[in-house]
A and B are shown apart, each in its own frame.
Chain A
Amino acid sequence: MPVDPLKEREILVVHGVQTSSDAQLNQDQLIKTLIENRIGSIPLRFATRLYRYENINDDALRKYKLLLNLLAINPVGKVVADNVLEMAGDVVIALRNSSTAAKIRAGLKAAILDIFQREAPCYIVAHSLGSIYTFDVLNRLMRDDQYFDRASRRSWPVQGLITIGSPIGLDMFRVRGRKSVASLGEGHKWFRWHNYYDLTDPVVSGKIFGQQLQGYIIAETYLKQSLKQGWVIRDRQVDTGKGWLMAHVAYWENPIVGDGLVDMITN
Chain B
Amino acid sequence: MRKPILIILCILCLGAQGCATYMYHGSIDAMDSAGKERHFILYWSKTDGLLWPAKAGPASLLTECGNPVIFVERPEGIVFRGTPGQDAPVGTPATMTQPEIPCGSFIGETKFVAFDEGPVMLRISCEPVTDEFAVQPRRYLQARPEPYRFDIISTKEWSLFGKDPVAPDPPPCRQP
**Which residues of chain A have a CB within 8 Å of any CB of chain B?**
5, 37-44, 121, 153, 159, 188-190, 192, 198-200, 210-212, 216, 223, 227, 231-234, 236-244, 246-247, 250, 253-256, 259-260, 262-263, 266-267
Count B interface residues, CB 8 Å: 56
Known: A40-B172, A121-B133, A212-B55. A239 touches B85 (CB 8 A): no
Contact, CB under 8 Å: A267 / B99: no
| Set B58, B60, B162: member contacting A250, Cβ < 8 A | B162
Known: A38-B170, A41-B173, A250-B162. A190 touches B133 (CB 8 A): no
Contact, CB under 8 Å: B62 / A40: yes
A166 to B146, CA, bound (A): 39
| Set A190, A233, A243: member contacting B19, Cβ < 8 A | A243
**6 more A-B residue pairs beyond the given contacts A40-B173, A238-B57, A241-B159, with a C-beta to C-beta distance below 8 A:** A210-B52, A216-B74, A216-B75, A239-B45, A243-B19, A256-B45
Minimum Cβ distance to chain B for residue A70 (Å): 30
Mostly, the A contact residues are loop
- B46 touches A (CB below 8 Å): yes
A210 to B47, CA, bound (A): 15
Contact, CB under 8 Å: B167 / A239: no
What are the residues of chain A within 8 A of B138 when measuring CB–CB?
A: 267
Contact, CB under 8 Å: A237 / B58: yes
A244 to B50, CA, bound (A): 12
Stretch of B4-12, B63-71, B102-110, B117-125 lying at the A interface: B63-71
A-B contacts, 17 listed (Cβ < 8 Å): A5-B133, A38-B170, A41-B173, A188-B85, A190-B85, A199-B55, A227-B98, A233-B99, A236-B70, A243-B19, A243-B47, A243-B51, A250-B162, A253-B164, A259-B68, A263-B70, A267-B134
Contact, CB under 8 Å: B171 / A239: no
A224 to B, closest residue via Cβ: B99
**B31-62 near A? 1/0 per residue, CB < 8 Å:** 00000000000001111010111011110101
**Which residues of chain B have a CB within 8 Å of any CB of chain A?**
17, 19, 21, 44-47, 49, 51-53, 55-58, 60, 62, 65, 67-70, 72-75, 81, 83-86, 95, 97-99, 131-136, 138, 159, 161-167, 169-173, 176
Contact, CB under 8 Å: A243 / B86: no
What are the residues of chain B within 8 A of A263 when measuring CB–CB?
A: 67-70
What are the residues of chain A within 8 A of B84 when measuring CB–CB?
A: 188, 190, 232
Contact, CB under 8 Å: B97 / A227: yes
B43 to A, closest residue via Cβ: A255
Minimum Cβ distance to chain A for residue B97 (Å): 6
Contact, CB under 8 Å: A43 / B161: no
Known: A42-B136, A255-B167, A267-B86. A239 touches B57 (CB 8 A): yes
Minimum Cβ distance to chain A for residue B63 (Å): 9
Minimum Cβ distance to chain A for residue B39 (Å): 11
Contact, CB under 8 Å: B136 / A243: no
Minimum Cβ distance to chain A for residue B174 (Å): 9
Contact, CB under 8 Å: A200 / B52: yes
Contact, CB under 8 Å: A212 / B70: no
Contact, CB under 8 Å: B135 / A44: yes
A233 to B132, CA, bound (A): 21
Contact, CB under 8 Å: B72 / A236: yes
Contact, CB under 8 Å: B67 / A241: no
Minimum Cβ distance to chain B for residue A84 (Å): 19
